[in-house]
Each structure stands twice: as C-alpha cells, then as structure tokens.
A and B are shown apart, each in its own frame.
Chain A
Amino acid sequence: DGGITQSPKYLFRKEGQNVTLSCEQNLNHDAMYWYRQDPGQGLRLIYYSQIVNDFQKGDIAEGYSVSREKKESFPLTVTSAQKNPTAFYLCASSIVKEETQYFGPGTRLLVL
C-alpha cells in the first residue's frame, strides 16, 4: 500500500536535546512538507522540499532543520534552539504539479 509513514508516534525531548522526526513516503511524490499543529490553531508550515537536495524555509523554520537526501525521506530535526517544541508534527507530500497534499499520521512531541 502506498502512503506516508511517520515515526515515532510519540517523542519526548529533554532540555537542550536535538531530536529527529522521521517521514517516509512511497507515493513517488516529488514534494514533501513539514507542518506544526498547536491546539486551537491551523497547520503552520515549517519547511518544504520540491526536489531531492533542495528545501526551503516555511513560516516558522527557526529552531528546526531538515534534509532531503532521498526522494522518499524528509526527516525533521527539532534543535535545542526551538524553545517551545511541544506540538503535533505532520508530514505531507504531493506531486509538484498537482493540487493535493497527502498527510502522514503525525508525531506528537513532548518536552520532559
């Protein structure tokens, strides 16, 4: 079955620690995205990538980093510079020239 997987489902971060969220897709989509969702708010774009080895900052990129070494994979690192990382993180992908983004199941990040 084609789809997007995210791991882990829950992630705990200690003060000053970097953590990495995984996102993998087997839909053969060129574009991938990371969003952050806070309670009572819509999704906010962190980073996006339209092609391997290229990515762009979204609206709230500070404190986050990404890489796109393979078409299928777009990991997100939450660095210690992100002072308020507790949120639900959603990864999405799309065919670049089509409209719809398809989402993974999400990772909930909590700070210890």
Chain B
Amino acid sequence: AQKITQTQPGMFVQEKEAVTLDCTYDTSDQSYGLFWYKQPSSGEMIFLIYQGSYDEQNATEGRYSLNFQKARKSANLVISASQLGDSAMYFCAMREGSIPGGYQKVTFGIGTKLQVIP
C-alpha cells in the first residue's frame, strides 16, 4: 500500500482564489509527522508547513494551512489567495515514528502540479 497518496496529478486555480491539494496517508504509528513541500521549476524543495500527529490545532503558515483529519488519515494543503508564484509541484510527506534516537524515515508522495491562472 502507498504510504502517501496524492491523487491529483494537476490542478488549476484562478489567481486570488483558494485551492486545496489532497493528501492521504497510511501508517500504524501513533506518533508521526506530516509535511508539505513546494518544488518550483528551479528544482529546490521548499518547506511549507508541518503537522504533528498529536497537534490538536491545524497548522497554519501565512497563506498555507493544513487541514488535518486524523480519522480519515488526510492532510490536505489549503493555499489561500493564490498568486502566480504559487505555480509549482507540491509534495506531501510523512515521517513515521518518534523522534528521540535514530532516524525516522520520511516518505514522499508523487506530487501535484499546481498552475495559477491570471
């Protein structure tokens, strides 16, 4: 089974509108973390937002918010007031296991390509 599933290969959004990028995950761990990264055409992966499995509030960072629904195992990214510079690939990722001690593997989804239309 896929650990991280991003079912939208491509999305379009009108400038200044909000858009939701879907991400579902699969884990049996109680402690895990969820991330979203942005990858513009230049290639660099830019960290956007993080949600811990025990965090009760949805994470927010400026125009980015993470809609965390634990029972559904979903961690959708919401971008408000889209800008042309938001056009990029977006990757959802999950870290499983607790932090103290050794490395905890991070698994990435295959990404969603977002295009913002003027």
Residues of A within 8 A of B (CB): 31, 40-43, 45, 48, 50, 56, 88, 90, 92, 97-106, 108
Residue pair B110, A108 in contact (C-beta under 8 Å): no
Supposing A97-B99, A99-B52 touch, asked if A42 and B45 sit within 8 A by C-beta, the answer is no
A45–B105 touching, CB < 8 Å: yes
Q: Measured between alpha carbons, how far is A90 from B107 in the docked complex, in Å? A: 14
Query: Which residues 35-94 in B have Cβ within 8 Å of A in the complex?
Result: 35, 37, 42-47, 50, 52, 91, 93
Q: In the bound complex, what is the Cα–Cα distance between A105 and B44 (angstroms)? A: 4
A42/B107 contact (C-beta < 8 A), A97-B99, A97-B100 known = yes
One of A31, A40, A100, A104 near B47 (C-beta < 8 A): A100
Q: A99-B50, A99-B99 are in contact. Are A43 and B91 (CB under 8 A)?
A: yes
- CB of A106, distance to nearest CB on chain B (Å): 4
Q: Does A42 lie within 8 Å of B4, measured CB to CB?
A: yes
Check B108–A100 contact: CB distance below 8 A.
Answer: no
Distance in angstroms from B35 CB to nearest chain A CB is: 7
Q: Which of B33, B91, B102 contacts A99, CB < 8 Å?
A: B33
B: number of interface residues (CB 8 Å) = 26
Query: Which residues of B lie under 8 Å from residue A97 when comparing CB positions?
Result: 99-100
Contact bitstring B18-46, A, C-beta under 8 A = 1, else 0: 00000000000000010101000011111
Do A106 and B111 touch (CB < 8 A)?
Answer: no
B50 lies within 8 A of A100 (CB):
yes
Chain B residues, CB < 8 A from A98: 99
Instruction: Looking at the assembled complex, report how far the CB atom of A79 sits from the nearest CB atom of chain B, in whole angstroms.
Output: 23
User: Can you list 5 residue pairs at the A/B interface with Cβ under 8 Å?
Assistant: A42-B4, A43-B91, A56-B103, A99-B99, A106-B44
| Contact A102 B100, beta carbon cutoff 8 Å | no
Residue of A56, A100, A105 with highest tally of chain B CB at under 10 A? A100
A76 to chain B, nearest CB (A): 16
In the complex, the chain B residue whose C-beta lies closest to that of A31 is: B103
Asked if A42 and B43 sit within 8 Å, CB to CB, the answer is no
In the A-B complex, the 6 residue pairs with the smallest Cβ-Cβ separation, listed nearest first, are A42-B108, A103-B45, A106-B43, A43-B108, A105-B44, A99-B33
